[in-house]
Amino acid sequence: MKKNSVLWIVAALLLGLVAIETAFVHPHEPVAGWRAWPGFHFAFGLAACLVAVWLAKGLGRAWLQKPEERDDDV
Amino acid sequence: MFEHAHPSLVLAAGAALLPFAGRAGRRWIPAVVPVAALIWILQAPAGFRLEISAIGMTWTVAHVDGFSRLFAVAFAFFACLAGIYSWREPSATSRAGSMLIAAAGIGVALAGDLLSLFLSWELMTVGSVVVIAAGRARGSDRAAFRYLAFHLAGGFALLAGILLLLVERGSAPVARIGLEGLSGWLILIGFCVNAAVPPLHAWLPDAYPRASPFGTVALSAFTTKAAVYTLLRCFPGEPVLVWAGAAMALYGVIFAVLENDIRRLLGYHIVSQVGYMVCGVGIGTAAALAGVAAHAFCHIFYKGLLLMAAGAVVHAAGSGKLTELGGIARQLWGVVVLYMIGAFAISGVPLFSGFVSKSIIVSASAASAPGAIELMLVAASMGTFLHTGLKLPWFAFFARPAEPDTKAGSVGHVPPSMYLAMTVAAAVCVGLGVLPSLLYRAIPDMPSYEPYTADHVVWALQLLAGTGVGFRLLLSKLGGEPTVTFDVDRLYRRPISFVVTALGTGVEALHKRTGTLGKRIVERIARWQVLLAGLKKGSLAAAVWVLLATLTAASLLCLAFGVHRGRKAAGEPGTPPPVSTAPGSPVLERPADRSLR
């Protein structure tokens, strides 16, 4: 129940932010066109987060992460 | 007053006095002496030059202008905070090393010619090696040796580049160099080693967590930011730096996902944040360079604050691993609050310092760099909030401990001196965020810039919210794991060890097989075997010997060059005289005036 209410609050906040952006926010300096799309930064933050973690975990499993005992300090 | 002293000399004298001082002296000297340096820097008139003549050359050891004063003030102020923070540091060696690093950082910021800069550069290596080796953590000695090996290689590249530049141009002021010749590339490599530009960065996450919690704070502020300063002076507008910086910003973010050690995680975020600055230097417009200076200034304090808080956790809980922490927020609530101020600052949350500095670089990239660069910088901003603002505090402070025998039940006391230093650093982070004009006024030729516009604020909040939702979705995957992360240092650790072993074995074999005549000579060489064996083990004494030998070689090279130059000037009347270093000469041109774009 508590979890659901938090999610509703977050969703409402996000919708509010997008509404504010659509109504009032206009870039006051040159930016790439897609940065001015309503909600772009939210979607980009979410997508970049998922991609970064997926990529890092994949690299970690394949090559980069080793058990602590392997910290052969030469 | 100014003609008879140099702030670096004052700090170095303080460092030299420390081992002989009593308990009170050891506590007060690191906190008070930087104040004297700070007063010198603030009071020195603009355009002031301090020159000395030695080995046939004029050395401009201090030149005060807008950029040099800004960086030197940040270094001296932070040195004072680091001195307060390390009030309870038991090792006088570590404190002396910290003061040496601060002295060297200020020396780099004030240097008017590249040879003076090189001396401070190497002094910074000496201080850092001392601080890391004094850490007494597992592997501190060896990490100090690797740090030394890496930075000596970088120092040699830098020295070779400077000497080549002197041959080519007759003078080497701290001014724009460019990448037209070999000298420029060698100097750039030397600077990039200290700026931790991948793949030359692995020394940073390797060494910083091995110092003591106090030592790591001193290490975090000076080396990379001094390198950013030198890049800003000597290589503004070099396109290669735009891509290198943007890649660097993402590299640190990717590796931080895998880290379990909180100081190593924050180390990767130094790489990421310095990436913004390197990218800004590469963009090279007046706005981008102003953003670099502003971000470097803010970074010194918010990253210092984050590492102070991490150090307080290590000091109180006895561990810095996410798998061994968790559930300690109640015991360390003051540290949590101060840490979160630093985390909000580095993440670019409105009303904190990172927001007013980072956004200048991102805006400059939007105006003058390819679109992909802007996207990469925004993505790196997401990663910064994900790790320093969400992952680290959640798993270190709030989450239930991952393992039953964690430190939650045995958290010790955090000394008031640590709280005092963290509070002042936090005040700087909030103060500059609320009143950015305080910072902007100090930046020379700062273009008109308003950080608190509706688009900046709403976009920043959206990015943070998107990251927050992503964190919630991935919570189960982001916890610490009892692993170590292999970085590019694994590529050179074993070869270095192999070379040192092979040299030792070779000398030993030669010693056994040579006849009586040869034995005398080889016996002399064999003495070096002791040194080689020491190097193999990562002995600090051996490392210091190598350092001294290198510095001697570097000094001899400089001396030979000076003598050669003096003879040339005396014997050849047609030889063009060195570039004038008199006041008002255009030796120290501001990079913004000569940006390539």
Q: What is the pLDDT of residues B196-249, one digit of tens each?
A: 999 999 999 999 989 999 999 999 999 999 999 999 999 999 999 999 999 999
- List, in order, residues 6 or more apart from B20 with CB less than 8 Å away: none
Q: What pLDDT is recorded for position B531? A: 54
pLDDT range class, residue B322, cuts 50, 70, 90: very high
Instruction: Please indicate if any CB of chain A lies within 8 Å of the CB of B410.
Output: no
Tell me which residue in B139, B450, B470 faces A45 most closely, judged by beta carbons: B470
Residue B158: alpha-carbon gap to chain centroid: 16
3-state DSSP call for residue B173? strand
Which residue, among A3, A22, A31, A49, would best test binding to B if mutated, counting the most B CBs under 10 Å from its CB? A49
**Average pLDDT for chain B:** 86
3-state DSSP call for residue B475? helix
- List, in order, residues 6 or more apart from B396 with CB less than 8 Å away: B262, B313, B322, B325, B326, B328
- List, in order, residues 6 or more apart from B167 with CB less than 8 Å away: none
- Render the burial of B140-167: b for 16+ CB within 10 Å, e for the rest: bbbbbbbbbbbbbbbbbbbbbbbbbbbe
Closest CA of chain A from B342, distance in Å: 21
Mean pLDDT of B24-33: 93
Instruction: Please indicate if any CB of chain A lies within 8 Å of the CB of B386.
Output: yes
- Asked if B463 lies within 8 A of A42 by C-beta distance, the reply is yes
Q: How many CB atoms lie within 10 A of CB B342?
A: 29
- Asked if A65 lies within 8 A of B483 by C-beta distance, the reply is yes
Closest CA of chain A from B70, distance in Å: 27
Q: Nearest 5°: CA angle at B202, between B486 and B272?
A: 100
- Assess contact for B175 and B589: CB atoms under 8 A: yes
Q: Which residue of A has its CA nearest to B259?
A: A65
Nearest Cα to Cα of residue B110 among B169, B170, B62? B62
Helices then strands (H, E): number in chain A?
2, 1
Q: How many CB pairs under 8 A join A and B?
A: 153
Distance separating alpha carbons of residues B193 and B510, to the nearest angstrom: 36
Residue B275: alpha-carbon gap to chain centroid: 12
Nearest Cα to Cα of residue B300 among B507, B49, B80? B80
Q: What is the ipTM of this complex?
A: 0.84
> What percentage of chain B carries pLDDT values higher than 70?
83
3-state DSSP call for residue B582? coil
Q: Nearest 5°: CA angle at B278, between B126 and B151?
A: 20
- Assess contact for B557 and B163: CB atoms under 8 A: yes
Distance separating alpha carbons of residues B298 and B496, to the nearest angstrom: 37
Nearest Cα to Cα of residue B110 among B61, B158, B77? B61
Closest CA of chain B from A44, distance in Å: 7
> What percentage of chain A carries pLDDT values higher than 70?
89
Q: What is the pLDDT of residues B444-479, one digit of tens each?
A: 989 999 999 988 998 899 999 999 999 999 998 898
Tell me which residue in B455, B460, B482 faces A28 most closely, judged by beta carbons: B455
- Asked if B366 lies within 8 A of A30 by C-beta distance, the reply is yes
Q: Which residue of A has its CA nearest to B471?
A: A49
- Assess contact for B390 and B471: CB atoms under 8 A: yes
Instruction: Please indicate if any CB of chain A lies within 8 Å of the CB of B506.
Output: no
3-state DSSP call for residue B228? helix
Distance separating alpha carbons of residues B593 and B595, to the nearest angstrom: 6
Q: What pLDDT is recorded for position A49? A: 94
- Assess contact for B105 and B124: CB atoms under 8 A: yes
Instruction: Please indicate if any CB of chain A lies within 8 Å of the CB of B464.
Output: yes
